[in-house]
Amino acid sequence: MAFLVEDAGGAYNYISYFFLFLFGFGVVGYFANIFKLNLIRSFVIYIWHTFFAIFYGWYTINFGGDAVQYYLDAYYGEYNDVPLGIGTVGVTYLVGFLHVYLNLNFFAVCLVFNLFGTIGLLGFDGCLKKLAQNKTPFFKLLLSLIIFLPSISFWSAGIGKDSISFMAIGLCLYASMNVSKHFSMLVWSILIMLFVRPHIAAIIFFSFAVAYLFSNKVSSKARAIGLSAMALTSLILAPFVYNYIGFEAFDLETMQEYVEVRQGYNANDATGVNLSDMNFAQQLTSYLFRPSLFEALSMGIFGLVAAFDNTLLIFFFIVGGFNLLFRPRLRKLNYSKNLFSSSFLITHSLVTWTILAITTANVGIALRQKWMFVPMLMIFFLIFIGEKKKKSNQVLNGS
């Protein structure tokens, strides 16, 4: 893969780096306006994320990774004999278009995918900014810093499905704050996710449908119409999801066989885990909170960074969960007043978390894929943490 490094130089490549980076500022400015963010802060987030894009590119060239494989498949035209599709094939076609028709090399393509992840990061920051309005000064500061967690930027910065899926997550997360105002953003988020991970797109749709049906602002007639639309859309989406997952039939036996097969994937790798020896609660805990600080001591700098993020997650989980269960005033003020948004956040988080936890036998894979629901879980628990006293303003407005 030495040619990837050698190919990084040259006048055209340096010009492409410059204009792509400059173009990124325009894109960031556009989305900063949509997400109601401070422009300077948004530029700082973009520069921060770009650093991780460059680092991710260097890391995968030297130590291997999916990003290099996507580029090599496009470079050698491996996708030419494969029909255009979704998931891995779709991303390979996109990389091929950028390389063949725009003559972008590996690092230039990294800068393009960096923009996808940055958009998702800005959407997440827009939600955190909205959430911070009712918080104490300490939690306002904490919420302003969450967006700079290294793991989020590292896993959303490279060539592949993760940067695109994180963009979809950021868009749908922001849309959930006020769906009536941002309905088109919601639709785009589902379509974008459908392009890379159809099963997650189906979960997003299902979660919004559940939130809509249980919203306290929806009439019985509207619920009936919504239920019919949900059923129709499910029938349309189902074939795409089944085909992508590889289901030959949708029954209990097929699902059980699928889970057993998935539990064996990558289980023997250095970061593999034996899911068959764990109960359901252990699978959930292992997926979300590993590696711990104790495990990370033998995993180097990446393990320590991931463990720090997980420690923060545990804090949100415990404190937010405690307030939700044992402080009825907070639950009444925040959950009931934000029924639509809260219902979407918790439904999407629990369904995605469950599916991924019982089918992912590798901590390394879990570290990058869990960002398809962890932002939702964070926002949900943060609703119940750090609220100013004698204040009952609505945090989110989901319908």
| Digit-coded pLDDT (tens) for 17-55 | 999 999 999 999 999 999 999 999 999 999 999 999 999
Q: What is residue 399's predicted lDDT score, i.e. its pLDDT?
A: 47
At 37, the amino acid letter reads: L
Instruction: Tell me how long the chain is.
Output: 399
Q: DSSP letter string over 249-271? A: S-SHHHHHHHHHHHHHTTTTSTT
To the nearest 10°, the Cα dihedral for 351, 118, 182, 344?
20
Q: For residue 133, what is the DSSP state? A: G
Contacts of 309 (CB under 8 A, 6+ apart): 149, 150, 151, 152
Between the alpha carbon of residue 43 and those of residues 22, 116, 119, 346, the distances in Å are 11, 15, 11, 31
Q: Please give the pLDDT value at position 396.
A: 56
In angstroms, rounded to a whole number, what is the distance separating the alpha carbons of residues 244 and 68?
23
Residues in Cβ contact with 240 at an 8 Å cutoff, skipping those fewer than 6 apart: 86, 194, 198
- Spell out, as residue ranges, where the chain has pLDDT lower than 70: 1-9, 216-219, 222-223, 237-274, 297-300, 328-338, 388-399
| Paired tokens of 99 | 């390389």
- Residue type for position 343: S
User: What percentage of the chain carries pLDDT values higher than 90?
Assistant: 37
Give the whole-angstrom CA distance, residue 273 versus residue 242. 26
Distance CA 266, CA 122 (A): 33
Other CB atoms within a 10 A radius of the CB of residue 394 amount to 13
Question: What pLDDT does 330 receive?
Answer: 60
Residue 373 tokens read as 């629901």
Calpha distance 117→372 (Å, rounded): 12
Write out the DSSP string of 68-86.
Answer: HHHHHHHHTTTTTTS---S
Ramachandran angles phi, psi of 272, nearest 5°: -75, 155
d(CA 271, CA 292): 13
One-letter identity of residue 61: I
Give the pLDDT confidence of 125-136 residue by residue, as tens digits: 999 998 888 788
The half-sphere exposure of 253 on its side-chain side, counting CA atoms within 13 A, is: 2
The 8 Å CB, 24+ separation contacts for 323-332 are 323/384, 323/385, 324/381, 324/384, 327/384, 330/384, 330/387, 331/384
C-alpha to C-alpha distance for 175 and 338, rounded to whole angstroms: 14
